[in-house]
Structure 1
Amino acid sequence: VELDARPSDSVALAIRSKCPIYMNEKVYKEAAVTIGDEGKAEAAEESLVEEEESVAEPVSELDRLKALLQRAVEAENFEEAARLRDQIRNLSSEN
């Protein structure tokens, strides 16, 4: 079976079905990220988020969860997005 899908979906399918992942060498070389560099980028992003949170006005828990949901969807982190969606539903049903 051969599929054409987004990388995040392809990896998720391969992991769940315990199948190998094949990638075009040209794509791999162009898109490869060194783990050390990624860690630095994540640390810088976390620092920026912390600064924004300390400067921003207090927001409701619901608004905070909706913002996190938006970020998770944009990052194609769909498992986290589903978890956040469920939290939002639970919080909304309590009100």
Structure 2
Amino acid sequence: MSIDPRAALSALTTALEEHLVAASARRGEEDPIVEATFLGIIDAFEAYEEALFDAFDEVTPLVIYGEDEDFGDDTDEDGDDELEPISE
């Protein structure tokens, strides 16, 4: 059973808003509430991407990188200016 893309988009928007609230009330470097809402964004985005693909055979231009990624480096291992998405 697939999810309605509009409902999945609404859930993603809600997840982003919850993360903003948690980030603005952060209680230290590793606040568990911020971490939980961060992971909630990932889950909601993946559900939206799947619903969008199922309904319209379409995807977004966004990619979720794993924890191993170096977010400060805009080059890949070959020194190119492009990062390749992590395959599941």
TM, length-normalised to structure 1: 0.37
Q: Which has the larger radius of gyration?
A: 1
- Higher relative contact order (Cα pairs below 8 Å, separated by 6+ residues): 2
TM, length-normalised to structure 2: 0.39
